[in-house]
Amino acid sequence: MRKQIAAANWKMNLTVEQAITLLDEIVSKNIKLSENQEAVFGVPFPYLLLAKDRISDNKNYFVAAQNCYTKESGAFTGEVSAAMLSSLDIKYVIVGHSERREYFSEDNQTLSLKVDACLKNNLKPIFCCGESLEIREAGTQNDYVETQLKESLFHLDPSAIKDFVIAYEPIWAIGTGKTATADQAQEMHAHIRNVLEKKYGNEIAQSVSILYGGSVKANNAKEIFSKPDVDGGLVGGASLNATEFAEIIKSLKS
Ligand code: PGA
């Protein structure tokens, strides 16, 4: 069975003391994960190592960076490379979050380079895609997401796509309290899997974990995650609260 993942995206939140308190609170709940389940903590760069240390006793708990640069090293003040993250033994990198696309002008081409940088350095990208409200209202969301996938991922070999992680995050549902219904999520996830199948075949398409993101909370996670093509969630706001995020982890399919 493909991986079921509850991934926290803290974004640019929390001081170091608050970060430690939150991680310790979640760890103290002692939630045991099965072989195919993972809890992932997408923390700001300065907290990567401490987060890794705090969760180290918990099986299948991992840390994610929220971004990386396309280049390996050099005169790029303020940037962090995939090679650096790899040297910290970080497992995941969130790539192409809609906030990066919107505020930092990251386009599909740039993101394809970031995905390459991650894979070259043995980091697993959590590749984000998803449409704006305008696109959803025009009814062209399927084509829009398909183009995002094609332009950023379809240069990859099948071996690189196997076990890949994609997060579908409709922009209109991020931080708005407005969740896609479980059926809307399932519909897009099935479309994404179908797009992958056309390019890479059924076996590989079935191995890809597709997370849903956008106002996932403790009280809606179970219903959304229960859908056959939804393999967990990428969680912003609710991941900043230990009780909420713990419930979300417990909502993963086993
Ligand atoms: P949200 O954010 O859960 O606060 O809507 C999700 C995300 O942006 O990853």
DSSP string over 177-206: S-PPPHHHHHHHHHHHHHHHHHHH-HHHHH
Q: Is the dihedral of CA 162, 5, 215, 68 positive or negative?
A: negative
Digits of tens for pLDDT over the chain (254 positions)? 899 999 999 999 999 999 999 999 999 999 999 999 999 999 999 999 999 999 999 999 999 999 999 999 999 999 999 999 999 999 999 999 999 999 999 999 999 999 999 999 999 999 999 999 999 999 999 999 999 999 999 999 999 999 999 999 999 998 887 788 999 999 999 999 999 999 999 999 999 999 999 999 999 999 999 999 999 999 999 999 999 999 999 999 99
| pLDDT of amino acid 178 | 79
- CA 144, CA 135: separation in Å to the nearest integer? 8
The Cα–Cα gap between 46 and 244 comes to: 24
| pLDDT on residue 198 | 98
Say what the pTM is.
0.97
Q: Give the pLDDT score at 1.
A: 85
Do 93 and 122 meet the contact criterion of CB atoms below 8 Å apart? no
Tell me what pLDDT residue 180 has. Answer: 87
Ligand 1 contact, 158 CB (< 6 A): no
Question: Are the C-beta atoms of 234 and 213 separated by less than 8 Å?
Answer: yes
Question: Any idea which architecture 4-250 has in CATH?
Answer: Alpha-Beta Barrel (3.20)
The domain segmentation of the chain, as residue ranges, is: 4-250
Report how far ligand 1's centroid is from the alpha carbon of 174 (Å).
5
Q: How far apart are CA 170 and CA 179, in angstroms?
A: 9
Q: What pLDDT shows up at residue 179?
A: 82
Q: Which amino acid is at 6?
A: A
**Element holding 245 (H helix, E strand):** helix 242-250
Report d(CA 241, CA 165) in Å as an integer. Answer: 24
Ligand 1 mean position, distance from CA 73 (Å): 30
Distance CA 18, CA 6 (A): 20
Nearest CA to ligand 1 atom 3: 236
Q: Is 79 assigned a catalytic role?
A: no
Q: Would residue 169 show up in a list of annotated catalytic residues for this protein? A: yes
Q: What is the pLDDT of residue 176?
A: 84
